Chain A
Amino acid sequence: MPEAVGFFTDTTVCIGCKACQVACHQWNDLPAKRLELNVLSGNSYDNTGSFSDVNWRHVKFIEQFSPDANRSQAAWLMMSDVCKHCVNAPCLEVCPTAAIVRTEFDTVYIQEPACNGCRDCVGACPFGVIHMSERTHVAQKCTFCYDRLKVGLAPACAQACPTQSIKFGPLNQLKKDAKTRLSQLQKQGETKAQLYGADDTVLGGLNSFYLLLDKPETYGLPSKPKVPSRSVIGSTFWSIFTGLLVALGVLFRFRERAKPEVVPGASGSEVRP
């Protein structure tokens, strides 16, 4: 059985070069969808804007300015985002066709021939990772370069990253590296530095986890993503309770009305329903 692998993305050394995005497009033969339109988003250097069916990696550019009129202080955070390959993956949990599976490398993979395009996974993913392909009409997301893993290669994005912001390797080793790096930063005075997804507090753990310099929301990451099935018990309980009330109520109404009642002043044999 192969070892569980993952990504550790150290956002402190990301330079926003987008080599990871290019490598992902190149290896997976993904088109540059908006190239022909030559559209600039106006949002910093981010012109792909978000994850999409053809953008399985997305480099975020987060410009922060102080609230004073001169914007005297500025910070620029960059982060290469990707599918988190969650331990308790919401997409895998809800997929009714079992098209989404966990691989032998502990990554989450969409088997395209089985997907029927119900889009339940799109709604379930708390990170907005999964999108429907306009070409094949099935769900699309990072495959963790499953084809490369099978032959012992690192995923294309990690291979291309020039600053080793995206580190690939066995999960246990990556987590040790992440803790070491975090303590190093904290010693340097980066008090807001934190790991996201390295422990089991976020969906049981993320196989692609991050070192952040601000709170998760700053990077467009939910602080408390939910496992979809957590609501099923509550919904079921209240539904049964309501169903019983409806059934009993309607039943009593029917029986009450259906009972024959004696017409006042009439003879004993004269009844009406």
Chain B
Amino acid sequence: MNYYVADPHWSWEIVGYFFLGGIAAGSYFLAVLLEWFGTEEDRPLARIAYYIAFPLIIVCSVLLVIDLDRPGRFWHMMLKSEVAKQAMAEGFPLSGAGWRTMLHAPILKQWSPMSAGSWGLAVFGACAFVSFVINVWPERWPARWLSKSWPHAILQVFGCAGAFFLASYTGALLSATNQPMWSDTVWLAPLFLVSAASTSLATMLLIARWKNVGTLEARERLAAAEPLALGLELVILGGFVFSLGDNLGPVLMTVRGNVLIFGTLTLGVLVPLLLLVRIGHNRSWSIPAAAVCVLVGGLILRYGAVTTPGELLRRGPMVADAFSPEEGRAIGQPGADVGNHGAAIHSRSKLPEE
């Protein structure tokens, strides 16, 4: 584990984006599945899912812009600022020279999850927008034409690909750093992906019940998929914990690490599984109660995942010291809060090998 890094201070905006982005992506994916493979009864549920996806993506975009230290430069994520400014100076969009220069402005670094994620979010947002419009105004001309033709199917394929990407790249983004815990595992991405499936199912179940959308059978179909997603989440969570190896000890010495692992495990997976499988559908409150637990668990997962490295850095090698009390503390520096600050503290610390 690398304790010598600085904390990027990603906080509630990023937690919110990861959580809501997962629900948006999962909802879109479920909507397409319901449309393609469901029955006529499932159509209202698919419509609900499209209604969820696009507004949430708008919220996600706002959260991402707010999180930037220079929000006014959000467009730098997709366009090289100096090239775009030059194109504007050359008269873009009213001149040919401006257009020619602007063609060189887009920037995509496919090996950088944040760069690829910006494009993924844009593609998914565009698909979610069109699907949203089709479902809000189904009788209008463009929607009527689109919904009954192959362009809509192509759009849905792109939308599903974007949804899959959006649900998982957020975990890859965390792993593609040198932060403690994040960089020690590649299982955050699949964990976020499967959590996106479970939380989007939970959201749809709650809204369908609240607004009384779809038939009971259609809602039961959704509810029947939830235990499957939760079972898979349990397996992937196990894979994540296992992948931490020796680093699990320091993670469990933090409050947020415990919230991440045990909070997600109990509230996000085991309790809803118990409610859905053991208590069953015959009790009217079991499905909504399970759905609420899944949503809280999904939020806890993102909160724990995003904030645990910050706590590890604030507590510094002290968390590792707990496992080597003889050698693990610098003389004259008991309990110092060092993070990446004090080489003196690290000097006699026995840190776990990477």
Q: Are B225 and A249 in contact, CB atoms less than 8 angstroms apart?
A: yes
A137–B68 CA distance with the chains assembled, in angstroms: 9
- Count of A residues near B, CB < 8 Å? 82
B33 within 8 A of A: yes
By beta carbon, the residue of chain A nearest B37 is A254
Which residues of the other chain, B, contact A263 by a CB distance below 8 angstroms?
none
Q: Are A251 and B33 also in contact (CB < 8 A) when A238-B189, A258-B38 are?
A: yes
B220 within 8 A of A: yes
B168 within 8 A of A: yes
Q: Are B114 and A67 in contact, CB atoms less than 8 angstroms apart?
A: no
Residue-wise, chain A 222-263 has the 8 Å CB interface mask toward B (1 for contact) of 111110110110111111011101110111011101100000
Q: Are A61 and B76 in contact, CB atoms less than 8 angstroms apart?
A: no
B278 within 8 A of A: no
Q: Are A123 and B5 in contact, CB atoms less than 8 angstroms apart?
A: yes
Which residues of the other chain, B, contact A126 by a CB distance below 8 angstroms?
2, 4-5, 178
Residue-wise, chain B 327-354 has the 8 Å CB interface mask toward A (1 for contact) of 0000111001001111111111101001
A203–B157 CA distance with the chains assembled, in angstroms: 39
Interface SS of B by simple majority: helix
Q: Are A61 and B344 in contact, CB atoms less than 8 angstroms apart?
A: yes
Which residues of the other chain, A, contact B118 by a CB distance below 8 angstroms?
96
Q: Are B331 and A249 in contact, CB atoms less than 8 angstroms apart?
A: no
- Count of B residues near A, CB < 8 Å? 85
A12 to B: closest C-beta gap in Å: 16
Q: Which of A19-27, A43-51, A170-178, A189-197 is near enough to bind chain B?
A: A43-51
By beta carbon, the residue of chain A nearest B114 is A96
A71 within 8 A of B: yes
A13 within 8 A of B: no
B226 to A: closest C-beta gap in Å: 9
B172 within 8 A of A: yes
Q: Which of B180-188, B265-273, B290-298 is near enough to bind chain A?
A: B180-188
B43 within 8 A of A: no
A60, A124, A231: which has the most chain B beta carbons within 10 Å?
A231
Which residues of the other chain, A, contact B319 by a CB distance below 8 angstroms?
none
Q: Are B347 and A43 in contact, CB atoms less than 8 angstroms apart?
A: no
Lowest 9 A-B CB distances belong to which pairs? A117-B69, A234-B186, A220-B343, A116-B73, A128-B340, A96-B115, A242-B190, A235-B172, A239-B168
